[in-house]
Structure 1
């Protein structure tokens, strides 16, 4: 793991391989380790980088009032510090929301986008009632027994080989930091950003995603000019871990179709 300082905040990241840069943005309650099967598979052809967002993994704690714009600016700062922009940005779930905000604020940083099982914010993709319900459920958990594991992440039981990874990430979740991130996602509506995207965009969705259903994927496809949608059968929300081979095949095909 490497570390850089962005606007006084420590940002940790993993980097491997060589070639065109591909930057991975993880979901809520995760850190860069969530992209392990992608970094392992794609480092033979690409420079693969997975950050730990502010407040997660090896990165520094977020300040009170840290907003969605701050996550996006921190990511843009990392791209500048590593001199990899414009690059391909790959996000899953909450990571998609961060990427959309980055595109709103720093569109020149993106060469292409891969958006998986994500949201234009919970409010934007699920509506105010569902966004408020999800956030209330997290806030109501007592601090001494806080469980960052959200229901419906997988279509079935978590893949056995990734259970230790999932447990390790869950053990390292900082409650306040996670609530900061998911509060930002609950309040966000980035639907208006989708139709402004002018770079090649690949959508990847689990057919059985219970957190961000296929209706959200179809909204993304309808609104993002020229977006392609690949649906992975029998797969839930965390498609990069539940079906890593299929996910990696889709990603590699897209990257080769849209070279740097």
Structure 2
């Protein structure tokens, strides 16, 4: 792992490969390790970066009052420090919401967007009753006995997690900081970035598991209808974590998309 300093925060990241820059942004209750198949599979052609967002992995704890803009600006600081922009920017789940805010605040650093099983914030993508149910469920989990705390939300996989990634998932879950997760889920519940989608002016790739129950395929259709230059690739038999359930397929479609638009990168 390597580190940069941004606004007093230490931000950890992993960097592999050489070529056009491709940055991966993980979801809630995760860190950069969730992108291991992408780091390994795409480094032959791209400079692949996966960060630990503030409050996760080996990065600093979240400062008090840290907002969605703070995550977006931290990502911008990483990309600017490494002189990567404009770059291909990929976000999974909560990470996709961070990426959208990043694009809103720093469009010059973005060559393309890759949105994987994500949301325009929960408020921007889910019915109000579903948002309330998720908030209530998170509150029960986070306020229960410590020994019962399990950051692995239901419905992440279409079936059982791939056996080869079970140790990885256990290691990531063991390092989750409950305060960070609570803060992220609160931000998601109040975030609506749906008004940004029609104004996205870079090529955008949507990758969705057809069996995703956390961010159902209808949300991908909403993105597809709203974003002017977009394409949707549906991963059959995958749930919310399509990058782990079908890593070869995800890598292949990301590779082809980034190749097509490589002239846009810095």
- What TM-score range do you get, normalising by the shorter chain? over 0.9
Question: SS state of the match for residue 196, structure 2?
Answer: helix
Residue equivalent to 1:133: 133
Residue equivalent to 1:124: 124
Which structure 1 residue ranges, 5 or more long, are not aligned? Answer: none
State the 1:131 CA deviation: 1.5
Please give the alpha-carbon distance, in whole angstroms, between the structure 2 residues aligned to 1:128 and 1:32: 31
Q: Summarize the alignment of residues 101-112 of structure 1 with structure 2, pairs less than 5 Å apart.
A: 101-112=101-112
Residue equivalent to 2:219: 216
Task: State whether structure 2 residue 74 is matched by structure 1 residue 82.
Answer: no
Q: What's the C-alpha RMSD, in Å, of the aligned pairs?
A: 0.8
State the 1:183 CA deviation: 1.1
* Cα contact 1:20–1:46 (8 A) shared by 2: yes
State the 1:154 CA deviation: 0.4
Residue equivalent to 1:100: 100
Q: Summarize the alignment of residues 228-239 of structure 1 with structure 2, pairs less than 5 Å apart.
A: 228-239=231-242
Please give the alpha-carbon distance, in whole angstroms, between the structure 2 residues aligned to 1:131 and 1:52: 26
Please give the alpha-carbon distance, in whole angstroms, between the structure 1 residues aligned to 2:69 and 2:99: 10
Which structure 2 residue ranges, 5 or more long, are not aligned? Answer: none
> Which of 234, 239, 247 pairs up with 2:250?
247
State the 1:143 CA deviation: 5.0
Please give the alpha-carbon distance, in whole angstroms, between the structure 2 residues aligned to 1:55 and 1:146: 18
Q: Summarize the alignment of residues 1-260 of structure 1 with structure 2, pairs less than 5 Å apart.
A: 1-141=1-141, 142=144, 144=146, 145-260=148-263
Please give the alpha-carbon distance, in whole angstroms, between the structure 2 residues aligned to 1:133 and 1:74: 30
Please give the alpha-carbon distance, in whole angstroms, between the structure 1 residues aligned to 2:65 and 2:233: 36
Please give the alpha-carbon distance, in whole angstroms, between the structure 2 residues aligned to 1:67 and 1:106: 16
State the 1:133 CA deviation: 1.6
Please give the alpha-carbon distance, in whole angstroms, between the structure 2 residues aligned to 1:88 and 1:54: 21
Please give the alpha-carbon distance, in whole angstroms, between the structure 2 residues aligned to 1:40 and 1:5: 26
State the 1:21 CA deviation: 0.4
State the 1:161 CA deviation: 0.3
Q: Deviations over 1:14-40 (max 9, x none)?
A: 000001100000011100000000000
Please give the alpha-carbon distance, in whole angstroms, between the structure 1 residues aligned to 2:253 and 2:66: 34
Runs of at least 4 residues off by over 3 Å: none
TM-score by length of 1: 0.98
Please give the alpha-carbon distance, in whole angstroms, between the structure 1 residues aligned to 2:63 and 2:229: 38
Question: SS state of the match for residue 140, structure 1?
Answer: helix
Please give the alpha-carbon distance, in whole angstroms, between the structure 1 residues aligned to 2:127 and 2:120: 10
Question: SS state of the match for residue 12, structure 1?
Answer: strand
TM-score by length of 2: 0.96
Q: Deviations over 1:178-216 (max 9, x none)?
A: 111121111100001111100011000001001000100
